Amino acid sequence: MGMTLTQKILAAHAGLAEVKAGQLINAKLDIVLGNDITTPVAVNEFEKAGFHSVFDKEHIAIVLDHFVPNKDIKSAQQSKQCREFANQYDILNFYDVGQMGVEHALLPEKGIVTAGDCVIGADSHTCTYGALGAFSTGVGSTDMAAGMATGMAWFKVPSAIKFVLKGKFGPRVCGKDLILHIIGMIGVDGALYQSMEFTGPGVAALTMDDRLSICNMAIEAGAKNGIFPVDEVTKAYLKGRSQREPVFYEADPDAEYEKTIEIDLDTLEPTVSYPHLPENTHVASEGKDIKIDQVVIGSCTNGRLEDMEAAYNILKGKHIAKGVRGIIIPATMDVYKECILRGWTTAFIDAGCIVSTPTCGPCLGGYMGILAEGERCVSTTNRNFVGRMGHVKSEVYLASPATAAASALTGCITDPRTV
């Protein structure tokens, strides 16, 4: 029996001719990633284990993004520990204030990850890089410590679900709507420890930003990773960007999948995930009676340039509803600068929003938009668990940038095709 795309990459990095679902392997790593929350824990474990060197200073990335610029003394101490470690071991891909971005937007943009890579990160949304045709997955800080020292990690080879995409999106429908639709269909454990592999003629109609958003939320279906085949869109994105030569793998024609799910992109509507699980999905047009207090547009899921453009196209020349707080967070400094150069930042401010330096910020209840008791937020982030963005009696509704921007204008959940 042939191998899936994920299995092909894992076999190559384990130095094996083939691997099978359920098999335990030890694989070489191309990138080990940490952020300002998880890296200090990994550093403590690294030192506790007696390590005195890293496997490769060019293949470790540390991005200070969650509570940076530092929001309090604890976050300042965590960042200081990261800086000291990065200086001690001369970590080349170290990103601090003024250079940092939200990690899973920054690494693809900088070409730190590329096609064919095997990547671990001490952050659950490391699965984002499957959009580039890489195997990437989140791990704990102890695995990060071992990875930094040895350049190796063990995995149980996942089985896979095949998603065959057909057609193309209608107006103001995007990758975020697709992944919310899928999670609503299969549930938050519908792909538990499996690879979500996307294929079919509809893939060609997806932009790289669509694919990054989709793979980012594979973990919200319980998946080990999400992954797209490498095509002309991928190659165009990687050209002149990749720090290393990309390697292109393909699934075997006789690869075995647990199930195959076909999705017609033409039929999808703007979709919203209601509290308190990503699987609680509804079409946006059903939400007109749900009043909101805040909108957040940003994060590793939807803070890229196309996301900013979607928000701009809805907000330009208009003003958000009275009583709604609009928070826009470009995911990287390059995105931030481009928004300024294109006049989008001015349009956002004129529409009554604030524009922040890149940060994870409110996504995980950090800062830059914490919710009080009873407040509701439409957010382009990836999780809406109880208390995720603040008070345990607040509510988070996950949506695309277009839906979030439209909702900011009306003060209630709104289908962006109607504004």
- For residue 37, what are its two tokens? 């929350």
Stretch 233-239: mean pLDDT: 97
- Is 279 contained in some domain? yes
- Look at residue 389 and tell me if it is in a domain: yes
Classify residue 16: in a domain, yes or no.
Answer: yes
208-223: pLDDT as tens digits: 999 999 999 999 999 9
Closest CA to 401 of 330, 298, 322, 320: 298
Examine residue 353 and state whether it is found in any structural domain, yes or no: yes
What is d(CA 407, CA 402) in angstroms, rounded to the nearest whole number? 9
Q: Which residues contact 239 (CB under 8 A, 6 or more apart)?
A: none
Last residue of a domain, one of 263, 293, 309: 263
Residues 212 and 86 in one domain: yes
Q: Is 328 found in the same domain as 230? A: no
* End-to-end C-alpha distance for the chain, whole angstroms: 51
Considering the domain architecture, whether residues 46 and 167 belong to the same structural domain is answered as: yes
Q: What is the pLDDT of residues 53-71, one digit of tens each?
A: 999 999 999 999 999 999 9
Which of 228, 263, 298 terminates a domain? The answer is: 263
In a domain, 252, yes or no: no
**Contact at 8 Å (CB) between 373 and 391?**
yes
pLDDT tens, position by position, 248-292: 999 999 999 999 999 999 999 999 999 999 999 999 999 999 999
Residue 362 near residue 328, CB atoms below 8 Å: no
Tell me the pLDDT tens digit for each residue of 132-161.
999 999 999 999 999 999 999 999 999 999
pLDDT tens digit sequence for 107-120: 999 999 999 999 99
How far, rounded to the nearest angstrom, does the alpha carbon of residue 375 sit from its chain's CA centroid? 25
C-alpha torsion angle, residues 397, 355, 419, 325 (rounded to 10): 60
Q: How far apart are CA 216 and CA 210, in angstroms?
A: 10
The confidence band for 50, taking pLDDT boundaries of 50, 70 and 90, is very high
Same domain assignment for residues 145 and 290: no
**Residue 377 assigned to a binding site:** no
Query: What gap in Å lies between CA 102 and CA 73, rounded to an integer?
Result: 21
- CA dist 70 and 117 (Å) reads 32
Residue 300 assigned ligand-binding role? yes
Q: Is 380 helix (H, G, I), strand (E, B) or coil?
A: coil
**For residue 50, with 0-12 CB atoms within 10 Å meaning exposed, 13-18 middle and 19 or more buried, which class applies?**
exposed
250 in a structural domain = no
Please, are residues 275 and 395 in contact by the beta-carbon 8 Å criterion?
A: yes
Six-digit token pair at 288? Answer: 């007109």
End position of a domain, from candidates 220, 236, 263: 263
Q: Number of structural domains, the chain? A: 2
- CATH number for position 55: 3.30.499.10
The answer to the question of residue 249 being in a domain is no
Q: Are 408 and 320 in contact (CB under 8 A)?
A: yes
**Binning pLDDT at 50, 70 and 90, where does residue 1 land?**
confident
142 and 236, same domain (yes or no): yes
Residue 366 shares a structural domain with residue 331: yes
Q: Do 193 and 293 lie in a common domain?
A: no
What whole-number distance in Å separates Cα of residue 226 and Cα of residue 206? 15
User: Contact at 8 Å (CB) between 72 and 37?
Assistant: no
In this structure, what token pair is assigned to residue 74? 């604890």
Measured CA to CA, the distance from residue 361 to residue 66 in angstroms comes to 6
To which residue do tokens 């994870």 refer? Answer: 360
Same-domain status, 318 and 232: no
Please, which residues bridge with residue 94 across strands? 62
The verdict on 210 and 74 lying in the same domain is yes
With cut-offs at 50, 70 and 90, classify the pLDDT of residue 100: confident
Cβ proximity of 123 and 35 under 8 Å: yes
Are residues 316 and 354 located together in one domain of the fold? yes
Burial class (CB in 10 A: 0-12, 13-18, 19+), 17: exposed
Between CA 40 and CA 62 the distance in angstroms is 10
- pTM for the structure as a whole: 0.95
Total residues belonging to the chain: 419
Give residue 118's domain range.
5-244+257-263
In this structure, the answer to whether residues 360 and 235 fall within a common structural domain is no
Q: Are residues 11 and 46 in the same domain?
A: yes
Residues 148, 38 contacting (CB under 8 angstroms)? no
Please report, rounded to a whole number, the percentage of residues in the chain having pLDDT higher than 70.
100
Do the annotations mark residue 215 as ligand-binding?
Answer: no
Identify the three-state secondary structure at position 357.
Answer: coil
Spatial separation of the C-alpha atoms in residues 194 and 243, rounded to whole Å: 29
Is 159 domain-assigned?
yes
